[in-house]
Amino acid sequence: MIHILTGAYRIWEPPTGFSRVELDLGCGKGGFLLAMAGKDPASLYLGADVMLGRLRRVQRKIERRSLTNVALLRVNAWDLAGHLLPDHCLHRAHILCPDPWPKARHRSKRLVTSEFLGRLAQKIAPGGVVHLSTDNANYLAAMRAAIAPLDAYHSYPDGIADIGAIKTDFEREFEDQGLTVTHLAFAVKH
C-alpha cells in the first residue's frame, strides 16, 4: 500500500510486529528496497519517494513478489525527517545516489546537508545507521563535510556489511559506465 503523506500533519506510525525498521529514502525503481525486504522478512522496509508513478511501479513489484514487509511512502524527505516519523523508530536509513545537483547554482537543493542529517538523527534509534552513497566526487566531499560537525554520528563502516552486495538500480548503471559508487556508514549516538 502506498501511504500518501504529502500535506500530512500527523506522525505516521510504522506497523508493529517487525524486529526492525529500515528506510530507503528516494527508493526510485525499488531494486535495493525489494532486495533487502526479500532477504529479511522479519524487518519492515519503508520506501519513500516523491514520485507517485515510481511508487506505483514499485507497488506492482511488491505484489508480484508477495512481499508483506514493505510500506511505501509518498512524501517529501524534509517532512519525513522533520516531523512525520516518530523519534528513534528507524534502525537504518539509506540515502543512496541522491541527485548531486552538480551545478554550483543548484547545490542548495542537495538533500544531504548538516541540517537534514541532524533532523534524521532524531528518527534513528541509538546505534542505528545512516548509509550514504554517491558516484559524484564533489557530492561525496560535501556529504563528508555535512556530517563531520554533527556530534550525533560517528563513522561505522560495519553498519552496512550485511548489505554490501546489494546495489541500487542507479549504482548498477553507474558501474556499467565505469563509475565508482562510494558508500559511507555512520552510527547514531544518543
Domain ranges of the chain: 2-6+18-99+111-188
Band of pLDDT at residue 8, cut at 50, 70 and 90: low
- What is the overall mean pLDDT for the chain? 94
Q: What is residue 150's predicted lDDT score, i.e. its pLDDT?
A: 98
Sign of the torsion angle spanned by Cα atoms 101, 176, 178, 161: positive
Considering only CA atoms, which of 86, 82, 75 is closest in space to residue 24? Answer: 75
State in Å, rounded, how far the first CA of the chain is from the last one.
32
pLDDT at 65 over 70: yes
CATH superfamily of 2-6+18-99+111-188: Vaccinia Virus protein VP39 (3.40.50.150)
Band of pLDDT at residue 5, cut at 50, 70 and 90: confident
Task: Enumerate the active-site residues.
Answer: 99
pTM, to two decimals = 0.94
Task: Give the tens place of pLDDT for each residue, 16-47.
Answer: 999 999 999 999 999 999 999 999 999 999 99
